[in-house]
Amino acid sequence: MKKLQAPRGTLDVLPPNGRRRLEIVAIADDVLSRAGYQPLETPVFEDTEVFARGVGESTDIVQKEMFTFEDKAGRSLTLRPEATAGICRAYIEHGMHKLPQPVKVWSHGPFFRHEAPQAGRFRQFTQVDAEAIGSDDPSLDAELILLLDEIFERAGTGPRRLRLSSLGTPRTRADYIEELNGYLRAREGELSEEVRSRLDQNPLRAFDADHAGTQSVMKDAPLLLDRLAPDDADHFAEVRGLLDAAGLEYEIDPTLVRGLDYYTRTVFEFESERLGAQAALGGGGRYDALIEELGGQPTPGVGFAAGIERMLLAAGEADAHRGIDVFVAGAGHDAFLLVGQLRGKGMRAQMEQAGRSLKGQLKQADRLGARWTVILGDGIEVKDMESGDQRPAASLDEVLGMVGA
Ligand code: HAM
Question: What does the pLDDT average to over 306-319?
Answer: 90
Question: Would you tell me how many other CB atoms lie within 10 Å of the CB of residue 158?
Answer: 14
Q: What are phi and psi of 39, to 5 degrees?
A: -65, 140
For a pocket test of ligand 1, which of 125, 133, 256 has the largest count of ligand atoms closer than 8 A to its C-beta? 125
| Ligand 1 atom closest to residue 127's alpha carbon, by position in its atom list | 8
For a pocket test of ligand 1, which of 82, 147, 157, 274 has the largest count of ligand atoms closer than 8 A to its C-beta? 82
Supply the residue whose CA is at minimum distance from atom 12 of ligand 1: 307
Residues with CB under 6 A from ligand 1: 82-84, 113, 115, 121-122, 125, 127, 129, 131, 259-260, 280-285, 287, 303-307, 309-310
CA–CA distance, 119 with 381 (Å, rounded to integer): 50
CA atoms within 13 A on the CB side of 383: 15
Which residues, in sequence order, are CB contacts of 399 under 8 Å at separation 6+?
Answer: 338, 374, 380, 382, 393
Beta strands in 51-210 (DSSP E): 68-70, 76-79, 103-112, 124-133, 161-166
Supply the residue whose CA is at minimum distance from atom 2 of ligand 1: 283
Specify the pLDDT at position 319: 63
Which helix (H) or strand (E) segment holds residue 400: the answer is helix 396-402
CA 284–ligand 1 middle distance (angstroms): 8
Specify the pLDDT at position 293: 95
Residue-wise over 11-37: b if at least 16 C-beta within 10 A, else e? eeeeeebeebbebbeebbeebbeebeb
| Ligand 1 atom closest to residue 307's alpha carbon, by position in its atom list | 12
Specify the pLDDT at position 44: 98
Higher pLDDT, 187 or 318: 187
* Share of residues in the chain with pLDDT > 70 (%): 99
Sequential DSSP letters for 131-150 = EEES---HHHHHHHHHHHHH
Q: What residues pair up with 104 in beta bridges, in sequence order?
A: 132
Exposed, middle or buried by CB within 10 Å (0-12, 13-18, 19+), for 191? buried
Confidence grade of residue 320 (pLDDT, cut at 50, 70, 90) = low
| Ligand 1 atom closest to residue 83's alpha carbon, by position in its atom list | 27
Specify the pLDDT at position 187: 94
| Ligand 1 atom closest to residue 269's alpha carbon, by position in its atom list | 10
Supply the residue whose CA is at minimum distance from atom 15 of ligand 1: 307
Question: What does the pLDDT average to over 115-132?
Answer: 97
Model confidence over 137-193: pLDDT tens digits?
Answer: 999 999 999 999 999 999 999 999 999 999 999 889 889 999 999 999 999 999 999
Specify the pLDDT at position 203: 87
Average pLDDT across the chain, whole number: 95
Question: What are the contacts of 35-40 at 24+ separation with CB within 8 A?
Answer: 35/104, 35/143, 35/147, 36/104, 37/104, 37/105, 37/106, 37/130, 37/132, 37/147, 38/104, 38/105, 38/106, 39/105, 39/106, 39/107, 40/87, 40/90, 40/105, 40/106, 40/107
Question: What does the pLDDT average to over 243-263?
Answer: 94
Residue type, 104: K
**Cβ atoms of 352 and 329 closer than 8 Å:** yes
**Cβ atoms of 266 and 107 closer than 8 Å:** no
Confidence grade of residue 393 (pLDDT, cut at 50, 70, 90) = very high
Higher pLDDT, 149 or 209: 149
Q: What residues pair up with 328 in beta bridges, in sequence order?
A: 351, 374
